[in-house]
Every structure is written in C-alpha cells, then in structure tokens.
Chain A
Amino acid sequence: MNPATFANIPHAHSQDSVPKLMGRVLLALLPATLYGVVLFGWPAFNLLAVTVLACLLGEAVCLWLAGRSVRLGMLDGSALLTGMLLALSLPPWAPWWIGAIGGAFAIVVGKGVFGGTGQNVFNPAMLARVMLLVSFPVQMTTWLDPHPWLSGSAPSFLEGLQVTFGHWAATDGVTGPTILGHIRTELGMNHALSQSVPGHYQSALAAVGWTGGSLGETAEILILLGGLWLLWRRAITWQIPVAMLVTVLLLASGFHWANPERFADPLLHLLSGSLMLGAFFIATDPVTSPLAPVGQIVFGIGCGALVYIIRTWGGYPEGIAFAVVLMNAATPLIDHYFRPRIYGRTWRGESRPIEKKSDEN
C-alpha cells in the first residue's frame, strides 16, 4: 500500500503556513521596533540582537536534543518572534545577560521542555519577562528617558556597547519613571492624581511615544497600526484584542468616574504601558490562547481585568505579562468549558429538538 495515497486529505489546502503567519507578525512589529531602536539608540539594538540570538540558539539546542531537524524547526520563525517580543518588553538599556538569560529561559523552559513549538502552555516571552522581573527587579525596573539616535544625548556605538556589555550604572540624569510607575509612586505617597499627573503629560506624549518605557511599548500608534494590519491579514482574530481593550476601558472608566483622584483616566490606561502590544501581539499568541471564539472572548476579558487589577492595586506598575501568563494557565479550562455549540446540539451537547429554534425566531 502506498502511504503517499493517504497524505494530505483533503487534496486542496489553503496557502497559509506557519512561517508565513509568523512572518506577518514580525512584519507588523517592525515599525514599532525600529522606532524603539531609534528612540533608545545602540544599547537597545544590542539588547534586541542578544535576546533574539539567545532565543535562536536555545531553539537550535532544543531541536537538536529532541532529535528533530534543526533547519526545519528554525525556519518556522517562532523563536525569532519570541525573541523579538521578549526584547520589546525589556528595559532598553538592560545589560546583555538579561536578554541572554531571558531568551534562553523563554525557549528552553517556556517551550522546549513541553515539546517545542505549539506544545507549550504558557507564553514563552511573557514567562521569561515575568521570570526576569521576579529575579532581577533592579535591572528590570530601571527605565530610561528617550535618547533618540541622532540627538546629542544619544550614546555612540562604543558607548552603546559599554551600556549593554560593560558595567554601567543608571544615573538619575538618564533614567526616569514610566507614567504607570510614576503614578504608583505618587499614589504610594498619598498624592492625588490631579497633582501628580499634570494634564499635558497625560495622553498626548504617550501616544506619540515620546516616553520612557520598554523598547516596544513606547510607540502605541505604530503598534496599533501593526495590530490592525494583522487583523486585516487575518493573522489574528478580533476577539482577544477587542475583549481585552474594552474590559480595561470599561473598568478604568468606571473607577475613574467614581474617584478621579485615585484612579487614572481610561485613555491613560489605554495608551500607556504595553497594553496595545499585549492586546494585539501577546495575548493573541495562538498557541497559548483558547481555540474557540467564545473562549477567546473570555480570555480577553480575563486578561483585561487582571491587567487593570494588577496595575491599580497590585505590587507591580504594569501587569500585562502577569495577566497573560495567568490567563494562559486558565486556557485549558476555558477550552474545556467554552466550546462552540455543535450543529444540531444544545450548548450542553445534547441533541437539539427542532421546535425550540422556531420559538426563538
């Protein structure tokens, strides 16, 4: 019997493939990445390179250990994407070993031990980010004011190497808090928001992206455009980003309306931190999010609510990574309980009698 006869039923296939999908996501990230690199200069570029290389190396080692084709496995581009997303969520002037440890952790512990691409339960990049934050809080919470490439304050190539690979201690001159961190500090001292967040600071600058923060969270507009492009190219579906953004928006509006001095305004929530990146590029990771559209909406709502809770009451100024990883843990249960209704069956899986439908009509 010729086994080839059984291959590839049906005998027509859509033209999509995993590398194409990953390629699209990478492409959509490119503008924001370039912007981030320009904004933070050579050190940011170095960190990006180190992180991506660590991921690729980790992937190669895992594939080799698993006895799979290293070339084929690397070609799918998922390790590259993990590296990119991880780098984008790091402080841009973090030392090289942050990127290296993070990248290796993401691929080996986040994915390799589960059996490689597609088998992992948690989002590898966010797992690594959470791990780094928990293990190296100092390096992971030293944020930088923008030092755009050709401006006077930008480090030269050699200085860039010194920042990433040498000993460099943050000085108050170059570092500054992100908006969310600032709010947290101020609230910690019982200052009302109206004093601590002056109006002009609010959304305009953040939206244009002239703010300190991680590599990939500054250019909210570029991220949003990339995300919309992904939606249009059908690389992602609308359920997760929309559910997540709407949840944050609703919660933020409600609390802000109740007590504007304690709770930041919704626009600030939407446009600061890495909410956009999280909603369009991270929570949408197909491997670790629910399969079915209903489940995806539940997942998005969960992510949004957790982000808001952690940002507002938790111990960390930003909660995307934790929210995503926590909801990843819930994904199998969501997949278990939120399934599409089967044709001809009720939601509970019993055969669905005809009369009911005519009533509904």
Chain B
Amino acid sequence: MKTDFRNSLGYPMALLGGIALMTSAAISVADWLTQADITQRQLEDLQATLQQVVPATYFDNDLVRDTVTLRAGDQTVIAYRARRNGQVQAVCYQVSAPGYGNSAMVMVMGVDRAGTLLGVRVISHAETPGLGDKIEVTKSDWILKFNGRSLNDPPPFGWAVKKDGGIFDQFTGATITPRALVSAVKSGLEFFAAHRLALLDEVVAGGTPK
C-alpha cells in the first residue's frame, strides 16, 4: 500500500534526501553548463570597465588575464597590467572608499607608468540619488577631472575638496561623497607609488611577477 510506506520512518528522510539529490544535481549540472559562459561574461564586463580607464592605445595584450596580486595593508589588490610590446604601460586596480552612511563605494583607476591618472570610474556605490550619484560618469563629468592628475599635481594639500582647502569641487549639499572619493584616489596613487616596481613587472629581486 502506498500509504504504508509513506508512514514509515525512512520515507521523509528518503524524500528529503531525494529532493536534495535532485536539486543539487540540477544545480550542479547547471553550474557546469553555465560556468564557462558566466566567467566569460564577467571577464567581458571587467574588460569593458578596464577599458574605460586604460585607453586601447596602451595595450596589445589581454589585460584581464595579466594580473598581479599584491597586499596593501590587510587587503589584497589585484592589478591588471596593460602591456604594449611586452612592457607594462599602465596598470589598473580597484580601490574602495566608505561613502555616505557607511556604504562602500568601489571604483577602478588606471595609472600609467609615470604615475599619472588615466581615468577613474565608480563601478558600484550606494550614494543618494540626486546628491552623491554625481560621481557616476553618466550623471556628471566630475569624475573626469581626475584625468591627468598625479600625486604631485596638485600638490598633496590640494588633494581635497575645495571646502577643505583642496582643488576638487564638492557637490552642493553632499561633501562626504567627493571627500571620500578624493582621498581614496589619492591613496590609490600612493599605493602605486609604493608598489611601482612590482606593478610594472620590473622587480629584480624579491617580487614574484606572474
């Protein structure tokens, strides 16, 4: 009888186990089927982002695959290297900053050999629409003002919003976001300065370029 075996102790167990088996099998298969595509799509996304901050003229390699992993403080930073003719012309990497209300802002920045900024783009943030979101390049060209800057241009005290005596505009009514962004970009440049050799794959000793 049907009802009989359903009342047995093992039936629920077998049922749940069976369903778990089925679903995990389905997911595993799906994972296996989609894994490659998803990775590919993600790489494409990454590439698209990276190309925003490193102009195509700087590289002829597949820059998403030419990476170096470094430690900065307690964080690991993955830097992508743009090579032309085998020589690293520029690198780009992610930095993050605390935005308004403790949310994190993540951006990528591209820096050329000389330590000059090629570009900065915010890739994710939770700033307030209409206030803090002027950091998006689609909303305002504010972020483009970093192009061509370097650690000494402006001099260190100028790396601040105007309200704090620096050279970068703040937004009306939102100082926190630009302030945090400026200081994150600055520390990003400092990171470059500190790890320049490793980043440019010119380590003679000690580093382990990949």
A–B: direct contact at CB < 8 Å: yes
Which residue of B has the minimal Cβ distance to A169?
A: B172
A137-B131, A137-B173, A141-B173 known; A189 vs B164 contact (CB < 8 Å)? yes
Interface flags, A296-320, vs B, CB<8A=1, else 0: 0000000000000000000100000
Task: Compute how far the CA of A138 lies from the CA of B131 in the bound complex, rounded to whole angstroms.
Answer: 8
Give the contacts of A281-337 with B (CB-CB under 8 A).
Answer: 315
Which B residues, 92 to 137, have Cβ-Cβ distances below 8 Å to chain A? Answer: 100-101, 128, 131
Q: State whether A315 and B101 are in contact (beta carbons under 8 Å apart), knowing that A137-B174, A185-B163 are contacts in the complex.
A: yes
Residue-wise, chain B 173-210 has the 8 Å CB interface mask toward A (1 for contact) of 11110010000000000000000000000000000000
Chain B residues lying within 8 Å of A142, measured Cβ to Cβ, are 173
* Contact call B172/A138, Cβ cutoff below 8 A: yes
* Cβ-closest chain A residue relative to B131: A137
Considering the complex, give the chain A residue whose CB is closest to the CB of B160: A189
The count of A-to-B residue pairs whose CB atoms sit within 8 angstroms is 16
What CA separation (Å) do A188 and B175 show in the bound complex?
11
Within 8 A of B (CB), among A113-154: 137-138, 141-142
Contact partners of A137 in chain B: CB under 8 A: 128, 131, 173-174
| Residues of B close to A138: CB separation below 8 A | 131, 172-173
Q: How far is the CA of A188 from the CA of B173 in the complex (A)?
A: 15
Closest Cβ of chain A: how far from B157's Cβ, in Å? 12
CB-nearest residue of chain A to B128? A137
State the interface size on chain A (CB cutoff 8 A). Answer: 8
A350 CB to nearest chain B CB (Å)? 47
- Expressed in whole angstroms, the Cα–Cα distance for A188 and B177 within the complex equals 13
Closest CB of chain A to B183's CB: distance in Å? Answer: 11
Given the complex, which residues of B lie within 8 Å of A189, measured CB to CB?
Answer: 164
A315 touching B173, Cβ below 8 Å: no
With the chains together, A308 CA to B142 CA distance in Å? 36
CB contact list, A65-94 vs B, under 8 A: none
- Cα of A185 to Cα of B163 in the assembled complex, Å: 9
CA distance A52 to B163 in the complex (A): 35
A82 to B185, CA, bound (A): 47
Closest-by-CB residue of A relative to B172 is A138
Residue of B nearest to A135 (CB): B130
Nearest chain B CB to A174's CB is how many angstroms away?
15
Q: How far is the CA of A185 from the CA of B175 in the complex (A)?
A: 10
Cα distance A142–B173 in the bound complex, in angstroms: 8
In Å, the complex CA distance between A97 and B100 comes to 27
A264 to chain B, nearest CB (A): 20
Q: Closest approach, in angstroms, between the C-beta of A146 and any C-beta of chain B?
A: 22
- B179 nearest CB neighbor, chain A only: A188
Assembled-state Cα–Cα distance A141/B100 (Å): 16
The answer to whether A315 and B100 have CB atoms under 8 Å apart is yes
Best-buried of B163, B173, B175, B176 by chain A (most CB within 10 Å) = B173
Q: Which residues of A contact B179 (CB under 8 A)?
A: 188
Smallest CB–CB gap between A343 and chain B, Å?
A: 50
Instruction: Enumerate chain A residues within 8 angstroms of B100, measured Cβ to Cβ.
Output: 315
Max count, chain A CB within 10 A of own CB: residue among B131, B163, B172: B172
**In whole Å, how far is B135's beta carbon from the nearest beta carbon of chain A?**
16
> Within the complex, what minimum Cβ distance (angstroms) separates A247 from chain B?
26
**A contact residues around B176 at 8 Å (CB):** 188
Residues of A within 8 A of B164 (CB): 189
Q: B78-104 interface mask toward A, CB cutoff 8 Å, 1 = contact, 0 = none? A: 000000000000000000000011000
Within 8 A of A (CB), among B152-176: 163-164, 172-176
Task: Write the chain B residue with the least CB distance to A137.
Answer: B173
How far apart are A131's CB and chain B's nearest CB, in angstroms?
15
**Which of chain A's residues have a CB closer than 8 A to the CB of B172?**
138
Docked Cα-Cα span, A167 to B179, in Å, equals 28
Chain B residue nearest in CB terms to A141: B173
Find residues 171-224 in chain A having any chain B CB closer than 8 Å to their own CB: 185, 188-189
**Residues in A whose Cβ lies below 8 Å from that of B174:** 137
Q: In the docked arrangement, what's the CA distance between A189 and B101, Å? A: 17
**Complex Cα distance A45/B163, Å?**
31
Name the residue of chain A whose CB is nearest to the CB of B164. Answer: A189
Given A137-B174, A138-B131, A315-B101, 7 extra CB contacts under 8 A: A137-B173, A138-B173, A142-B173, A185-B175, A188-B179, A189-B164, A315-B100
Which B residues have a C-beta under 8 Å from some C-beta of A?
A: 100-101, 128, 131, 163-164, 172-176, 179
For the complex of A and B, the 4 pairs showing the least CB-CB separation, nearest first, are A138-B173, A137-B173, A138-B172, A189-B164
14 contacts between A and B (CB under 8 A): A137-B128, A137-B131, A137-B173, A138-B131, A138-B172, A141-B173, A142-B173, A185-B163, A185-B175, A188-B176, A188-B179, A189-B164, A315-B100, A315-B101
Q: Which A residues are closer than 8 A to B by beta carbons?
A: 137-138, 141-142, 185, 188-189, 315
